[in-house]
Amino acid sequence: MVLYGMTQELATCVNYRNLRHRVDEMGDPALSRLLGYIMVDERCHHDFYKRVAQLYLEQDRAGTLEELRCVVQTFAMPALHMLADSRQRVAELKALHIYDEDIFFRDVLRPLLDALGVKWSEFRQRNPQRKS
Ligand SMILES: [Fe+2]
Protein backbone atom coordinates (compact mmCIF):
# COMPACT_ATOMS: atom_id res chain seq x y z
CA MET A 1 0.00 0.00 0.00
CA VAL A 2 2.88 2.37 0.75
CA LEU A 3 4.40 1.76 -2.67
CA TYR A 4 1.02 2.19 -4.35
CA GLY A 5 0.41 5.38 -2.35
CA MET A 6 3.83 6.73 -3.29
CA THR A 7 3.12 6.13 -6.96
CA GLN A 8 -0.50 7.22 -6.96
CA GLU A 9 0.15 10.48 -5.09
CA LEU A 10 2.83 11.49 -7.59
CA ALA A 11 0.57 10.51 -10.49
CA THR A 12 -2.19 12.63 -8.95
CA CYS A 13 0.17 15.57 -8.58
CA VAL A 14 1.18 15.24 -12.25
CA ASN A 15 -2.47 14.94 -13.22
CA TYR A 16 -3.32 18.22 -11.46
CA ARG A 17 -0.23 19.91 -12.90
CA ASN A 18 -1.29 19.01 -16.42
CA LEU A 19 -4.90 19.95 -15.75
CA ARG A 20 -3.62 23.29 -14.53
CA HIS A 21 -1.79 23.76 -17.84
CA ARG A 22 -5.10 23.25 -19.68
CA VAL A 23 -6.83 25.70 -17.34
CA ASP A 24 -4.07 28.26 -17.93
CA GLU A 25 -4.63 27.98 -21.69
CA MET A 26 -8.26 28.98 -21.10
CA GLY A 27 -7.52 31.67 -18.55
CA ASP A 28 -9.00 31.00 -15.13
CA PRO A 29 -6.52 32.32 -12.56
CA ALA A 30 -8.62 31.33 -9.53
CA LEU A 31 -8.92 27.71 -10.65
CA SER A 32 -5.28 27.68 -11.65
CA ARG A 33 -4.27 28.82 -8.18
CA LEU A 34 -6.52 26.24 -6.54
CA LEU A 35 -5.01 23.47 -8.69
CA GLY A 36 -1.57 24.71 -7.70
CA TYR A 37 -2.44 24.27 -4.02
CA ILE A 38 -3.83 20.79 -4.65
CA MET A 39 -0.70 19.87 -6.59
CA VAL A 40 1.51 20.84 -3.67
CA ASP A 41 -0.71 18.89 -1.29
CA GLU A 42 -0.48 15.75 -3.43
CA ARG A 43 3.27 16.17 -3.74
CA CYS A 44 3.54 16.25 0.06
CA HIS A 45 1.51 13.03 0.31
CA HIS A 46 3.85 11.47 -2.24
CA ASP A 47 6.88 12.61 -0.30
CA PHE A 48 5.65 10.96 2.89
CA TYR A 49 5.15 7.62 1.15
CA LYS A 50 8.47 7.97 -0.66
CA ARG A 51 10.30 8.40 2.66
CA VAL A 52 8.71 5.22 3.99
CA ALA A 53 9.61 3.43 0.74
CA GLN A 54 13.22 4.53 1.17
CA LEU A 55 13.22 2.85 4.59
CA TYR A 56 11.85 -0.32 3.00
CA LEU A 57 14.58 -0.19 0.37
CA GLU A 58 17.22 0.06 3.09
CA GLN A 59 15.79 -3.00 4.84
CA ASP A 60 14.95 -5.18 1.83
CA ARG A 61 15.96 -3.68 -1.50
CA ALA A 62 15.22 -6.74 -3.65
CA GLY A 63 11.85 -7.38 -2.00
CA THR A 64 10.82 -3.74 -2.15
CA LEU A 65 11.74 -3.49 -5.82
CA GLU A 66 9.76 -6.65 -6.55
CA GLU A 67 6.72 -5.17 -4.83
CA LEU A 68 7.21 -1.89 -6.71
CA ARG A 69 7.31 -3.80 -10.01
CA CYS A 70 3.99 -5.36 -9.08
CA VAL A 71 2.50 -1.94 -8.27
CA VAL A 72 3.74 -0.43 -11.54
CA GLN A 73 2.56 -3.34 -13.69
CA THR A 74 -0.97 -3.14 -12.31
CA PHE A 75 -1.15 0.58 -11.64
CA ALA A 76 -4.37 2.42 -12.38
CA MET A 77 -5.66 5.76 -11.19
CA PRO A 78 -8.47 5.31 -8.68
CA ALA A 79 -12.09 6.34 -9.01
CA LEU A 80 -12.27 6.71 -12.80
CA HIS A 81 -14.94 4.02 -12.84
CA MET A 82 -16.97 6.05 -10.34
CA LEU A 83 -17.65 8.93 -12.73
CA ALA A 84 -21.22 9.34 -13.89
CA ASP A 85 -21.47 8.46 -17.60
CA SER A 86 -18.11 6.85 -17.02
CA ARG A 87 -17.13 5.83 -20.59
CA GLN A 88 -17.92 9.21 -22.06
CA ARG A 89 -16.27 11.09 -19.21
CA VAL A 90 -13.15 8.93 -19.34
CA ALA A 91 -12.92 9.52 -23.10
CA GLU A 92 -13.23 13.27 -22.53
CA LEU A 93 -10.54 13.18 -19.88
CA LYS A 94 -8.22 11.20 -22.16
CA ALA A 95 -8.75 13.73 -24.94
CA LEU A 96 -7.33 16.44 -22.66
CA HIS A 97 -4.00 14.57 -22.52
CA ILE A 98 -3.51 15.40 -18.88
CA TYR A 99 -2.65 11.83 -17.98
CA ASP A 100 -1.81 8.70 -19.97
CA GLU A 101 0.70 5.85 -20.02
CA ASP A 102 3.43 7.94 -21.66
CA ILE A 103 2.99 10.66 -19.05
CA PHE A 104 3.06 8.00 -16.33
CA PHE A 105 6.34 6.62 -17.62
CA ARG A 106 8.02 10.01 -18.24
CA ASP A 107 6.69 12.11 -15.34
CA VAL A 108 5.93 9.52 -12.65
CA LEU A 109 7.90 6.30 -12.94
CA ARG A 110 11.27 7.56 -14.15
CA PRO A 111 11.45 10.51 -11.69
CA LEU A 112 10.25 8.19 -8.92
CA LEU A 113 13.01 5.67 -9.59
CA ASP A 114 15.57 8.50 -9.79
CA ALA A 115 14.40 9.85 -6.44
CA LEU A 116 14.70 6.40 -4.89
CA GLY A 117 18.17 5.89 -6.33
CA VAL A 118 17.02 2.96 -8.48
CA LYS A 119 18.48 2.69 -11.96
CA TRP A 120 16.15 1.63 -14.75
CA SER A 121 18.33 -1.43 -15.47
CA GLU A 122 17.98 -2.56 -11.83
CA PHE A 123 14.23 -1.97 -11.83
CA ARG A 124 13.75 -4.01 -14.99
CA GLN A 125 15.78 -6.90 -13.58
CA ARG A 126 13.31 -9.28 -11.99
CA ASN A 127 14.39 -11.20 -8.91
CA PRO A 128 14.43 -14.87 -10.02
CA GLN A 129 14.06 -16.13 -6.42
CA ARG A 130 10.65 -14.53 -5.91
CA LYS A 131 7.57 -16.06 -7.44
CA SER A 132 4.32 -14.23 -7.98
FE1 LIG B 1 -3.26 12.68 -1.91
Read off the pLDDT of residues 40-79 as tens digits, 9 standing for 90 and up: 999 999 999 999 999 999 999 999 999 999 999 998 877 7
Whole-number Å distance between alpha carbons of 3 and 131: 19
Q: State which residues have CB under 5 angstroms from ligand 1, the bound ion.
A: 9, 42, 45
Q: Is 71 buried (19+), middle (13-18) or exposed (0-12) by CB count in 10 A? A: middle
Ligand 1 centroid to Cα of residue 124, in Å, is 27
Please give the backbone phi and psi of residue 68, each rounded to the nearest 5 degrees, phi first.
-65, -40
Give, as one character, the DSSP assignment of residue 125. Answer: S
pLDDT confidence of residue 130: 59
Whole-number Å distance between alpha carbons of 33 and 19: 12
pTM for this predicted structure:
0.87
Instruction: Decide if 24 contacts 40 (C-beta within 8 A).
Output: no
Ligand 1 centroid to Cα of residue 53, in Å, is 16
For residue 128, give the nearest of 56, 61, 66, 72 by alpha carbon: 66
What is the pLDDT averaged over residues 93-110?
A: 90
What integer best gives the mean pLDDT of the chain? Answer: 90
